[in-house]
Amino acid sequence: MALNFTLNGHKVSLEDVPGEATLLEVLRGRLGLLGAKEGCGVGECGACTVLLDGKAVDSCLTAAWQAAGRQVATVEGLAVGDELHPMQKGFVETGAVQCGFCTPGMILTALDLVEQSPEPSDEQIRRALSGNLCRCTGYHDVVRAVRRGAKYMRGEGEEA
């Protein structure tokens, strides 16, 4: 099947996409975007999270055809040149990146949360990120990272 969608602000048109292909398979295999990762393959770990029309989804569970005519955002589309997105900056500055495997999914999940609640509480952050697993560390730095990124997104100072 043909598949047309907008990816990180750019029109994408693909031919011969198998009807059973997942969005994750298309992003990684056909388009070479490696930020979304297959961790568990069953929607439990959040490593494959992308934004579909601004909402965080597990791309391993999302059929590729579901992206037709829609907006898909991956971590690769956040930075502008060498300038990190405010949420990415928050993660780097707080040391919440660890090995990096889970980081793209956490950042995109955090963006969805902050779009809904620009000044989320720690409890809201923890609840939003409950589907994103990290094996490197606890989530203290991740919560701080989301708070800091949200603050930057609101246009507030350098400290969170």
pLDDT digits (tens, 9 = 90+) for 26-44: 999 999 999 999 999 999 9
Answer whether residue 97 shows pLDDT above 60. yes
- Smallest CA-to-CA distance from 88 within 98, 71, 103, 73 is with 103
Domains and CATH numbers, the chain: 3-77 (3.10.20.30), 86-153 (1.10.150.120)
Classify strands 49-52 and 71-73 as parallel, antiparallel or unpaired: antiparallel
Read off the pTM. Answer: 0.95
Answer whether residue 123 shows pLDDT above 50. yes
Give pLDDT, residue 142. Answer: 96
Residue partners of 85: CB distance under 8 A and separation at least 6: 78, 79, 107, 111
